[in-house]
Structures are given as C-alpha cells and as structure tokens.
Structure 1
Amino acid sequence: MSAGPDPTGPAWPGPAWSGPAWTVRAAVRAFRRAHPEIGDEVCVGLSGGADSLALTAAAAAEFAAVTALVVDHGLQPGSDRVARDAAGAARGLGVRARVLVVVVDPDGSGPEAAARAARYAALDAARDGRPVLLAHTLDDQAETVLLGLGRGSGARSLRGMAGWDAPWGRPLLGVRTDGTRAACRALGLDWWEDPHNVDPAFTRVRLRREVLPLLEEVLGGGVAEGLARTAGLLRTDDDELDRLAAAVPVATGGALDVSTLEPLTQAVLTRVLRRWLRAHGCPSPTYAHLTAVAALVTRWHGQGGVAVGGAGPAEPGVSGGRGRLVARRRHGKLVLEIDRVSGAGS
C-alpha cells in the first residue's frame, strides 16, 4: 500500500511536512493504516475552511487519488465564488475537484439540520462508491458530546461521531481546530472563514465560543479532550450493548414475544425495541416512545397502546392501512398496528 511521498519532503511545491502540518498528515496516515479497506481512492468533503483544507492537503499526500467535493448550499451571498475558490485550492494541491450545488429545504428541522442533510445527500450521490473523508476535529467531537449531555440524549448521542462509519471517515477527531489552522499556515494555504462560524444564532457557535471556553477556565483546561475521551469510552460500551441486542431473536411476522423480552436488562431491551420500531415505520423513536413501549413489557397492568408516530402504507407485520402507528401488547406479544381512530388505548 502506497503511503504517499516521503514525510521529509512536500507533496507539492511548498514547505516541508513538519510540525503542525505533519500532525495532521500523521492523523490521516494512521487512519488509513487502521482502515485498509478504504483503498487508495477517496473523496474529501471540502468547504474551504482550515479544517477541510488541511485534510485535503494531507489526503493528497497519503492517497493515490483524491477528489475534493465542494458543496455549495447557496445560503450566503457569494457562496458560488467561495465554492469555486475552494475547488481551485484543491486543484492547486494536485487533486480533482467538483462543486455540488444543493437546495436546502428547512422542512421544519432548522437551518443547521437541513443544511447538514442536504450536504450528506449530495456527498453520497457524488462519491461514486468511494469513501468520503470529513474534517471533523476533536473540537467538533467535544461540541457533539456537550450537546448530547445538555439534551439528555443518552449513550447513542454521547458516543459522538465515529472515526469510520462507512462511507464516512473522520481522520482528524484527535486533532484540535487550532492545529489545522497552524497546519494551513505552515503549508502556505489560505482558508475561508465561514461567517456562520461566528454567528451566535447557531447553537454550536455559542458552545464553541462561550460555553467550552468557560468550562476550560473553570475546570482548569482539558475539557475538550475529556469530552472526546468520554465519547470513545461510551462508544465501546454502546457497541457491546448493541451486539447483545442484535442477538435477541425476533418473532416472525414482525411481533415480539414478551417472554423473550422480559429477562433482558433495560439497556438491552430499549435497543431491541428501537431496532424493532425503526424496522416497522418509526424511523426516529424518542426516549418517551422507548420508555412507554418498554413499560408494556416491564410494567404491564393491562394499559393501552403507545402511539409511536404517523404511518404510511402498512409495513410487513403491521396491520391496518394509513394513520397513527401504535404499539400494543396482545396475547403475550408486542405488535404494531395502524390506528385510524382517535385514541391509542385498547
């Protein structure tokens, strides 16, 4: 497997790889060695910011073929120029580049979530079977965990972002944002400063600029690293619980046998129920959904069904037509039904 040019020399005319630039490149090299399945050709999600530009430079040095995918969300005046400049910077590093123009549909999820959904969809459509490297840093991971803590989201959120979750790779989760800026300076690369990154209207901006610095001051530093470490520890635990849940047999026809569920610990039971609900028409079960459905097993006293969301055409194992999806306990089994009548009880 080719590891790119010798680390003592540059990948293109310019400064030698050393110091902060080598830190970024070493992270990409370590990622590639840890995941040989990704192969020699990759895409990189490039915004033109310091994080993604440093990642693109390092990827160009470590992989045989790199394509930079630049997403133009069209959310700011001049976004087309920013996208063209980012693509030009990528080509200056010796990699191919494509600009992907997307339309962001707010769809009630908020501008950040809508833009993220549009970006991932565009990257997935353009990658042509190749993995996509994303420039999330240790700081981004810390913010993700802190958001999960504040929202009471549980281990699935607190585990943070995965370093490799095919087709998405995040080689820089151990690198600080100030490290990518230092790398760009060392390599003579000019990056774009996204005005959204300083706009306090965005929750993550306030976390980054107000909450995390205050925590660092109060706790004497190391908070971002501690949050990222917490994500790694919880990921290990969560993966094991998911493995145990995946081994639980599910009855044919889409129903769950209560006698199989009753011996399970709460942690495993909620994972089995989440998998079951997602497979049959409830794509994003909430904490309230899971707690109420679990009570049909652990605290059964003849209560009625639990509404778990709207439903489209009936799924396999789900009775009824269109309406509200309801989980019920019937004859020793948990079943999902579509309730077209007001009220979820039975």
Structure 2
Amino acid sequence: MVVAAVIAVTFGVIFWAWGLLWDAATPAFAALPATQAIMYGVWLIPAVLGGLVLRRPGAALLCQAAAVTVSALPGNDWNNTILLQGLAPGLGAELAFAAFRYRSFRLPTALLAGALAGLGAALFDFFDADNSGTALGSYRIPFALLTIVSATVVAGLGAGSLTRALARMGVLARRNRETNRWRTVDVVVAAVIAVTFGVIFWAWGLLWSVAAPVFAFFPPAQAIMYGVWLIPAVLGGLVIRRPGAALFCEMVAAIVSTLLGSEWGSITILQGLAQGIGAELAFAAFRYRSFRLPTALLAGALTGLSAALFDFFVWNSEYALGGYRIPYALLTIASATAIAGFGAENLTRALARTGVLDLFPAGRERTTI
C-alpha cells in the first residue's frame, strides 16, 4: 500500500506539472492540434507501473485513479471530469493484467497495458462533451489513435523500463522486503520529525517575510535561507532508512505547515512532495544502503534541485530569467546542500550521541560515526 501511495503521489505531482506544460505547448501544435496527443502517454504511466510493480488485482486502477486525484487537489483546467478520466485508463491497464491472470509482467504485457490504458483514455476523450464540437476526421479520430500510440510507447515501454531500473537499484528486490518494511517505531519517529519541522516551516515562513527587505539589494540572495525547509527530507532518510521516509517526512511537514496557516496556501503540499522526491531519489540511487555524508549531501542537492525547479516554473515564472530565476535556483541548491544535506547529517550524529536513536541503525552506529 505504501508503494502504491508513493507511485500515486509522485505521478500526481508530475500530472499537475505536465498539465501546465500541456497548456504551454498547445500553440506549438496549432497547425495540427490532434498531434498534441503524442504527449498523452505521460498521464498513463502510473496505471502500467502500478501493475508491474505491485502485481496485485486493482493495482493499476488504484495508482492511476489516486494519481489523478492528487493532481486535481491544487486545481487544473479539467477538474470537473478529471477523476472519471483517471478511471478509464486505469480500467484499461487493469484489463491487460487480468487477461494474463496477473501472472505475466514482461514487456509484451506492459505494452498491452499501455495500449489499453490509451484506449480507455481515447474513448473517454472521444465522447467527452468538451470534444463534441470538434471535427471527427481531422481531430477526434487522429487524436484517439495518437493517444493509443503515445500510451503504448511512453506508458507501456516507459513503465517497463522504469520497473527494470528500479529493480536494478534493489528497491524492488524480495531480499529487501523485511529491511524495507516500516516498523511502528519508524512511523512514530517519522511523524515526530515531520510535525516538528512542520511547525518550524510555519515559523520560518514568517521569518522569511520579515527578512525580505534585508535582501532588497539582490532579492534572489534570499534563497540562502531556503535549506531549512528541506531538512526533514534528508533527516528522515538518514534516520528511518526506509524507502519513502524522505518523501513522507517532507510531505507531512508541508501539510502541517499548511494547516498552521502557511501564507502560500495548499500548493505548499505539492511543493513538499516535489522536494521529498528529490531527496528520495538520492537514497534510492544507493539502494538505501549508504547513509554517510556524501549521500546526505547528494540528498540535499537533489531536494534543492526539486525545490528550485518547482519555484522556477510555479512561483518565479514572471521574474527575469538571468536577473532572478537562475541565481535564485542556484542559491536554492547551494543552500539545500549545505543546510539540509550537511546540516541533517550533523543533526543525525548529534541525536545518535544522545541515545534517542538507539532503536535505529543510525543510533547503533554512534560509536563509529
């Protein structure tokens, strides 16, 4: 269930961002609007990926529907029908795995799942009221066919390749099942980290606003303060040492800060997800086996990169590219590497010395770190 949630939440954020990119790219397809369907496959990846990874009845449908639900939370142009739209391709992919009685998960099955997910999406769009006024031969039929092609290649082949990559990293290995399974104490400590930093996030937001005039001489320089908002992603990964820990701690901290009244509203939750994914990728790159300083610095840098990209396209899109957006992004990454990476690693060692982490490998290593 945790893996399904990670897939759904991750692709929910991607869906939302892809929707923005879809709108921005529409003019490029003005000559042949139906050809924009080549971008469609990205929206169908979780249906195939969920089926390939979880290998359980309902996994494809659950991952696709949940991802679409997450993408709808901050609002988008398709809110009225998007939840139903998630069910159609999810059912398509589910039928592909069911056809093999949930026993085949090779490339041909992935391609079939992608094609049927695309067919489900194409049929939904074909009969959707928004497309009822478009020409049958010049738009609706070619759009449907290109949707199926895109789904087969991007969702089918793409999800198959992504599953193999995750398997090579050891994230999906059966031998790691016990070591990757969360204990009750893991959940409790992760929650403590998240709630604590959720309060800190809220307070840091107030300080950010108060400190803004100090950086009036060069506003992008305020990004040196950014790293504090990224500490739980790295700290959670270093302490809990389970897949999803970095993402969980950062996301829940963002939720807590939102509930306390963050001035940036509910979009902060999506921002937390993006930041958590960055750190999660760093720990996954080492198969959740390395938790030393270099890994912490990489986790800090990647969570900073995720934060920088989010701000680049969401918050800072109207600012000057060279005078604000680029230096702000670079300073965000530097701050994250130093404060979230180096800072979280030192905080982990400090906590280990107190003995509060004795139930975790980080605590038992305190005599050697």
- TM-score, length basis structure 2: 0.30
- Return the index of the structure with the highest Cα Rg: 1
Q: Of Structure 1 and Structure 2, which has the larger fraction of its residues in helix?
A: 2
Q: Of Structure 1 and Structure 2, which has the larger fraction of its residues in strand?
A: 1
